A and B are shown apart, each in its own frame.
Chain A
């Protein structure tokens, strides 16, 4: 299913992605990351139901990506932004630049929950609920 995208559609995807993520704030530009192949396939494999709507959107693409993005219907804009962003953010160089390595399991510290002294002060305050 993910292979259903033509070269033309993949190139359109790359052109649009390159203006969405031109690089900045230490994040690499999409243009150097081959986003239209493995990263895009990865996303479409995880979310197969997005292939058909993506193709429909890409088939409307003619030339200028900024104009194209600003003229998309809300729903289509959201959808292409999910696919471009998920593709871009799945790339190892990007993750590295973000210092983000996924949602990690961490053990709970045993040194208390934080701000304990304030909680103990609050406990001494008069009750503030309205009883009836």
Chain B
């Protein structure tokens, strides 16, 4: 923690607004709001709290504590993620007036290529438009000297600052409740009391354990280990071999729910989600022909490369709020495996609207914020079922051939309904809710199509070997 920064900012804020610390549960002019964590959840929350409060006519004092430096390469500036901003989030942000510039977006994605051991096929966005953004969360991988693109998290943090939030660079080391109000302490011992604490620390931090020690009822999220790596290829090579497509691998490898190669600017991100992914599993997948065929001929796993094994939330916190405390993004509720940034936006906005329009008591969050978290968690139950079903279907070669056959058939003519293609698209890009996806798979035409293609793969097994769409 830069002591000067903290003392200066808070020393000033203390004298300016001491009297503004309110006893009630409603935020008013000068109310103090601490945002712990300046990742997507923290920045979205700050931005929308200031925006909505401004519309109804008051200005809270919002302090964002963030330990990372998003302008730096490597771990110190990175929030470890695949960096896909989903199609639905890109659209929603555009409607909010937040357009993502090409200085932040490293690649616009308009299609994905589904790779299976039985063949591969390309699926384009419904409108053939680049509506998915591939970004780096920090300034770039650790072996780079910085990419030409800026950090996505830095962009969001700047947006919150431009709305009026204070950014305090450094780590919060202690959290307590004094007279029912949250108090944050930083290295060096300074501490300050707030009317509201928005906890946006994600799940890759030891900070969550502080909340177990508070006299509140909070069970942190359940997590699982994942894997991400960054491989340098150079912009031209990335464009040549991966294009503007995300490459998704559906293979019969145990414990793997999802693996993808995501083209960025000069780098390609390799991402694996599933149950406790370990080095062996990573190597096994990276060495398959399906992965190798997406990369330049002769490509080998480099000896040294930027990689990490972050945790991912697989079951939300409960309850994600208390009086004057709200848990947003990954440390509260998020979507299973997909569109975590979209879920951070949704929960942040719901929390901001609750705090600005209703109040910061547990009852306010229960009534106005919790429904969004519950809807995400309910949808995740369906998501678990879909991924479980996927896993089962992946075990049988004929089923994999059936899926591929159906997608290939749909892609042959533009006029054909794209039932399986869209189910795949939405499952892998996180563009629709799991409930929506499940409903579509129950359509008689979908089921008939799938059965027809599975039967046909049994009858004509040779048709499928290594087919490409």
A and B assemble together: no
Residues of B within 8 A of A (CB): none
Which residues on A are within 8 Å of B, measured CB to CB? none
